[in-house]
Amino acid sequence: MGQTLTEKILDDHLVEGELEPGEEIGIEIDQVLTQDTTGTMVWLQFEALDLDEVQTELAAQYCDHQTYQFDFKNTDDHRFLRSAAGTFGAHFSRPGNGICHQVHKEHFAAPGKTLLGSDSHTPTPGGMGELAIGAGGLDIAVAMGGGPYYVEMPEVTNVRLEGELPEWATAKDVILELLRRLSVKGGVGKVFEYTGPGVENLTVPERTTITNMGTELGATSSIFPTDEQTKDFLKRVGREDEYVELQPDDDAEYAEEITVDLSDLEPLIAKPSMPDNVVPVREVAGESVEQVIVGSCTNGAYEDILPVAKMLEGRETAKHTETIIAPGSKQASEILARQGWTAELMAAGVNFSEATCGACIGIGHVPASDSVSLRTFNRNFEGRSGIEDDSVYLCSPEVAAAAAIKGEIVDPRDLADELGDMDAPGLEMPDEYNGSKADLIAPDEAIDDELIKGPNIGDVPLKDPLDPHLEGGVLLKMTDNITTDHIIPATSDILKYRSNVPKLSEFTLSRVDESFAQRALDADGGFLVAGENYGQGSSREHAALCPMYLGIEGVLAQSFARIHKANLFNFGLVPLTIDEETYEKIEQGDDVEIVDDVGEGVRDGKEEFTVRVNDDWEATARLDASERERKILAAGGKLSYTRQQYDEKSGSGASPADD
């Protein structure tokens, strides 16, 4: 039987396990990336593991999320990250140089390689045939130390593309269409592999928009085969020699197949406040828009900004609509500026931000109250823009530009008819991505050789080994689809404490219940209860680390998002799955006791535990965990577990990360 492309790359990197869907596999990682808000923990953990040099082919540290440095704490973080990259041997991308996924795509992403990143949108270079996976910071630290990365072997879904995108429909509409059909949980445990005759009609920047936002489906990764388009892109970024031809076998077997006829697509939009709340733009046309932002790791590339510039050339934005371009990379800004497009955009009434995530997580450009903001981003979770009850829509750059001109949501096809002289801009790449590399510091150019820690940079808290008897109150009962933005928001007032867990913990779940952190501390232990897809969204391990710090013992949920579940194991919190009936019956304030000896059960592979509630009724909760995850839980988390491994192996010269 032939192999899918995903299986081929995994096979090439397999160090443990078998490629059977649902089985845990260990793979070798070639490249890692980390960014400023998850990176400080990564390097503190790298240090705590006594590792002294990056072992992967390449590691890159980006500073992209909070580049405005509103507080010295952020600037201290950036300086610490520069010193860590220098000390341990990673590339360093200075604040303002661009968003990790865009800069990585331009400078380092390579077909056939594996990439692990401490950011959920790491799968972006899947559009170039790289198998890229997002993970929690501790997994990145261990992989950087040369240890394998363990993940459940995903099912591979074949997304068969046919036809060609019509005018005004874009790559964003491809992924919005998949979200419309499959929902934000539709990709859990899956890799989406794109095949079919439509593939060759999509350029690499279009493919990476699709693979980037595959994360919103909950997918482990998304990948395209490589072809002339890949070769062409690599040539333009000056790395043609990195081209490798990669295709699935003709007789590859997929777990499922979805067909998308590109020719049938039209401009789509995700309504507030979930990326899968997708409708045709025409359905919401006429809604007044106060803010338009073009940018982010999904649609902030040169190829995303250029269509906006072409549509706005010689025109002005509506007077009540503030329009901002937040480029994905400084290189994109530089090329646009050299070509004169920046001036055109400015003349049209557009403001330029530095290349940063910024507004995507509520840092700058927070929408006005009761207003509509249209963004080319990938997430519109409630409150993420920096104001509760926000009204954020997600769309393509073309739809965003049309709204900027008209001041209301409008299908660009209708606007083009109305204006009579606005052509569909299409997609155009620069002949050469020839921006300056001044903001990239290679390991051999490093300026630091020891860590520089400011006063806000704390230690990584450790947990005691698993308590055999788990008991406590239900401190919070939550609904379905709780995001990591609910658990630990990323807005600027809170983000500055990412390197200071005791302080950051004060904000845990504050978006759901402001009194939670204090109640958890007072209760000295307890449980969280949630519906489906608990912990979707970001890879931030702080969403597990902070509850752990507050004494939470475990989470009872109907289902978990992949990265968050791994983070719960990594920090020693027990993720238990409950059925709908139990979820409905259990209430906040109930007393919960796990009747079985948890320590023994976890070690012995027990899958079902009896939960006694209020000494009154009982239910069954499942622990779906690999042997390795059980050992991690028993040790009180991955840091303690990895150190234990090290102690056992010391003397044998083994790396602490050799699992």
Per CB under 6 A, residues contacting ligand SF4 are 65, 99, 119, 121, 296-297, 357, 360-361, 377-379
Identity of the residue, 38 or 277, whose beta carbon is nearer to ligand MIC in the bound complex: 38
Site string for ligand MIC, 351-370 (x = CB under 6 A): ----------x---------
Structure tokens at 465: 């080994």
58-62 and 552-557: which strand pairing? unpaired
- Rounded to 10°, the helix 638-649/627-635 angle is 100
406 binds, among ligand MIC, ligand SF4, none (CB under 5 to 8 A by kind): none
What CA–CA distance (Å, rounded) separates 596 from 612?
10
Identity of the residue, 195 or 298, whose beta carbon is nearer to ligand SF4 in the bound complex: 298
User: Which of the ranges 116-124, 233-241, 246-254, 631-639 carries the binding residues for ligand MIC, by CB under 6 A?
Assistant: 116-124
Q: How far is the CB of 360 from ligand SF4 (least distance, A)?
A: 3
What's the number of CA atoms in the CB half-sphere (13 Å) around residue 234? Answer: 22
Strand order in the sheet with 149-152: 14-16, 24-27, 149-152
- Tell whether residue 642 is a contact of ligand MIC (CB under 6 A): no
Site string for ligand MIC, 61-80 (x = CB under 6 A): ----x---------------
User: Which of the ranges 14-22, 315-323, 534-542, 637-645 carries the binding residues for ligand MIC, by CB under 6 A?
Assistant: 534-542
Decide if 315 contacts 348 (C-beta within 8 A): yes
Cα-based angle 77, 80, 83 (whole degrees, multiple of 5): 150
Identity of the residue, 40 or 203, whose beta carbon is nearer to ligand MIC in the bound complex: 40
DSSP letter string over 537-604? S---THHHHHHHHTTEEEEEES-B-HHHHHHHHHTT-EEEE--HHHHHH--TT-EEEE-S-HHHHHHH
Q: How far is the CB of 379 from ligand SF4 (least distance, A)?
A: 6
User: Which of the ranges 397-405, 432-440, 538-546, 614-622 carries the binding residues for ligand MIC, by CB under 6 A?
Assistant: 538-546
99 binds, among ligand MIC, ligand SF4, none (CB under 5 to 8 A by kind): ligand SF4
By CB under 6 A, name the one of 7, 47, 77, 119 that touches ligand MIC.
119
Identity of the residue, 30 or 119, whose beta carbon is nearer to ligand MIC in the bound complex: 119
Identity of the residue, 36 or 553, whose beta carbon is nearer to ligand SF4 in the bound complex: 36
Question: Taking the C-alpha atoms of 596, 599, 601 and 602 in order, what is their torsion angle to the nearest 10 degrees?
Answer: 140
By CB under 6 A, name the one of 307, 537, 554, 575 that touches ligand MIC.
537
Identity of the residue, 40 or 87, whose beta carbon is nearer to ligand MIC in the bound complex: 40
- Tell whether residue 539 is a contact of ligand MIC (CB under 6 A): yes
* Residue numbers 477-496 binding ligand MIC by CB under 6 A: 490
User: Which of the ranges 279-287, 502-510, 533-541, 590-598 carries the binding residues for ligand MIC, by CB under 6 A?
Assistant: 533-541
Q: How many residues are recorded in the chain?
A: 659
What CA–CA distance (Å, rounded) separates 289 from 275?
18
Q: How far is the CB of 65 from ligand SF4 (least distance, A)?
A: 6
Q: How far is the CB of 437 from ligand SF4 (least distance, A)?
A: 21
DSSP letter string over 153-209? PPEEEEEEEES-PPTT--HHHHHHHHHHHH-TTTTBTEEEEEESTTGGGS-HHHHHH
- 149: β partners: 27
What CA–CA distance (Å, rounded) separates 440 from 190?
34
Q: How far is the CB of 211 from ligand SF4 (least distance, A)?
A: 13
* Residue numbers 25-44 binding ligand MIC by CB under 6 A: 37-38
31-34 and 58-62: which strand pairing? parallel
Expressed in percent and rounded to 5, the helix, strand and coil fractions of the chain are: 35, 20, 45
- Tell whether residue 120 is a contact of ligand MIC (CB under 6 A): yes
What CA–CA distance (Å, rounded) separates 327 from 98?
7
Neighbouring residues of 411: CB distance < 8 A, sequence distance ≥ 6: 168, 266, 267, 280, 281, 282, 285, 399, 402
296 binds, among ligand SF4, ligand MIC, none (CB under 5 to 8 A by kind): ligand SF4
Identity of the residue, 119 or 629, whose beta carbon is nearer to ligand MIC in the bound complex: 119
